[in-house]
Every structure is written in structure tokens, then in C-alpha cells.
Amino acid sequence: MKIALIAHDKKKEALIAFVKENVDTFKKHGLYATGTTGKKLMEETGLSIHRFKSGPLGGDQEIGALVAKGGIDAIIFFRDPLTAQPHEPDVSALLRLSDVYDVPLATNEGTASAVMHYISINESGVGE
């Protein structure tokens, strides 16, 4: 599976902690991220991640284009609903694309855990 990882500035540390908790699963898949988030994740986890531009420069839109081409299977976007800054990625376009293309998108740790469960089921072939 190909998994996109994005986080608003105030949620980057939470995403890093989440990825560390699930590193054994993440290392089995193709990972994509916006620039700064991807850089921090690689430094903290040692995972190989394809980095797009940073969010303010359109990295989230690059991920959206990959979703539209069928190149992303799940998105984990830890967003800050209370204090997100204008320069940070907007989740609304990715939400629309994920609905159009039936791609799971998690916006917080609770739904991210559900997406990880979905990924682990697909890894093991359960339900096929």
C-alpha cells in the first residue's frame, strides 16, 4: 500500500509519535509526505519516505494529484482544527478527493488507528 502522511505544524510531533508506535507496519509500505513533515519523520524514524514540496508550496496538492491517479491507498493527515495557520495545508481538498476515489483519510489519532487496522487487515489477507 501507498500511504500519505501530512501534519499541521502543531501536530507534527503527534504524527511522529504515531508513526513510531506503528513503525513495523509503516516500513512495509510506500510512504509519501509533504516536505517538512517527511523530513522530520525520516530523521526521527529512519523510514524511507518520498517527499513532495512542503505544504505551503503545494505538497498537499501533489499528494492530491497522486490520489486522483490512483497512486495513494490511505492518507493520514494530523490537522490542527483550532489554530491552523493560513500557510498550512487545507484538508478540504484532500477530503473531497478521498471521498471521490474511496481512499481512507484519517485526520486524528483515533481515525488513524482505524486506518492502521484497515492496513493490517489488507496485509494479512483477512477478509479476501
Give the distance, in angstroms, between the CA of residue 6 and the centroid of all CA atoms in the same chain.
5
pTM for this prediction: 0.92
Counting other chains too, the contacts that 97-100 makes at CB distance below 8 Å and 24 or more residues apart are 97/64, 97/67, 97/68, 98/67, 100/68
- Told to judge if 60 belongs to the known catalytic residues of this protein, a careful annotator would answer yes
**58 in a labelled binding site:** no
Mean pLDDT, to the nearest integer, of 68-95?
A: 87
pLDDT in tens, 84-123: 676 776 788 999 999 999 999 999 999 999 999 989 888 7
25 marked as part of a ligand binding site: no
- Residue in 48, 44, 51, 49 with CA at minimum distance from that of residue 20: 44
List the domains of the chain with CATH numbers.
2-124 (3.40.50.1380)
